[in-house]
Amino acid sequence: MKINLVTAKTVLIKTGLPGADYVVNPYNGCLFGCMYCYAAQIARWRHPHEVWGTYLDVKINAPVLLKKELENLHKRLKTKNFGAVFFSSVTDPYVGMEVKYRLTRQCLSVLADFGYAGNVSIQTKSPLVTQDIDVLQRLKDVNVGLTVTSLNDRVSRFLEVKAPPISARLEALKTLHRKGINTYAFIGPILPHILSNLESLNQLLDKLEAVGVREIWFEHLHLNPATKARLYRFLKHQAPELIPEFERSDTAVYRAQLEQVIRRALAGRRLKMGLGKVIHHRDLPKKK
């Protein structure tokens, strides 16, 4: 594992991601090392020879820079709402090193101290986010999403190699909800077992409702060439029988069937679907 302390030139970056106007990445790289991660591909240009999941750039000046950038935008736009700010697009903002460096916490504190009036959204796989509830409560408009791709800790351990188990993420959702923080769940990528087993999707939705989730974002599996090569190399050794399943999941026919299944599962529930549709990464604007 290689930890690099770096000085960023900018931290509040315009984005074309759905539902967001700016992204903040206090880190670059992610030690959770999910086998399906396409941030691996995006972040790769900085570390062309390193293996995803083995390095982390720690942007030590992120909070100071964020404060400066917020003040500059405020001077220019005469408002404290520049749109939705999303943590994060090329890392997990609560990757384990957050315990040591506290950059996400400090960036959130900067936003709270500034009186940021727009939405701040955080997406993570880590229950560490619950340690920042005090800061989250100081933000005017915040929601926190936990990625939940299955109910099975073994599935998450297998593909989301070093990320905290699903059970811990569900507990985090429950805690946040109890503390009055708006939560959502991100089911993405939707793993192949979901379509072949409507029951497992229903169980997942039941569980999410039980921990207070009222909004769910869905995203189709997206295998760009580099992600596919990395995932299939791994599956070839660990579970070759899953390769055809993943191959089938990345087709238009499969996506259409899956969307029908999701809408059936959501019918009659008090759950809002984020953006009102299942996201497909290939349809997104080509920005960070």
- Would you call 105 helix, strand, or coil by DSSP? helix
Distance CA 37, CA 231 (A): 9
At closest approach, how far in Å is the CB of 42 from ligand SF4?
A: 9
Q: Nearer Cβ to ligand SF4, position 33 or 212? A: 33
Least separation, in Å, of the C-beta of 65 and ligand SF4? Answer: 21
47, two tokens: 């570390």
Residues 6+ apart with CB under 8 A from 136: 108, 122, 129, 142, 144, 176, 181
One-letter amino acid of 168: A
Say whether the peptide bond before residue 93 is cis (omega within 30 degrees of 0).
no
Q: Which is nearer to ligand SF4, 34 or 195 (CB)?
A: 34
Nearer to ligand SF4, 82 or 219 (CB): 219
Contacts to ligand SF4 by CB under 6 A: 30, 32-34, 37, 39, 91-92, 125, 160, 163
Taking the least distance from each CB to ligand SF4, the nearer of 70 and 204 is 204
Least distance from C-beta 213 to ligand SF4, angstroms?
A: 19
Dist CA 39 CA 226 (whole Å): 11
**Residue among 119 and 123 whose Cβ is closer to ligand SF4:** 123
Place of tokens 């811990």: 168
Q: Cα angle at 45 between 147 and 35, to 5 degrees?
A: 35
CB of 156 to ligand SF4, least distance (A): 10
Task: Determine the length of the chain.
Answer: 288
CB of 161 to ligand SF4, least distance (A): 8
Q: Residue 71: in which H helix or E strand, if any?
A: helix 62-77
Helix/strand number for the chain, H first, E second: 12, 11
Instruction: Give the nearest distance from C-beta 87 to ligand SF4 in angstroms.
Output: 11
Would you state the structure tokens that stand for residue 265, as one six-digit string?
Answer: 């599962």
Identify whether the C-beta of residue 89 lies closer than 8 Å to the C-beta of residue 288.
yes
In the bound complex, what is the minimum distance in angstroms from residue 149's beta carbon to ligand SF4? Answer: 10
Distances (CA, A) of 18 to 31, 101, 216, 270: 25, 29, 14, 22
Q: Which amino acid is at 31?
A: L
Task: Between 146 and 213, name the residue whose CB sits nearer to ligand SF4.
Answer: 146
Of the two residues 35 and 139, which places its CB atom closer to ligand SF4 in the complex? 35
Taking the complex as a whole, the smallest distance from the CB of residue 143 to ligand SF4 amounts, in Å, to 17
Residue 96 or 212 with smaller CB distance to ligand SF4: 96
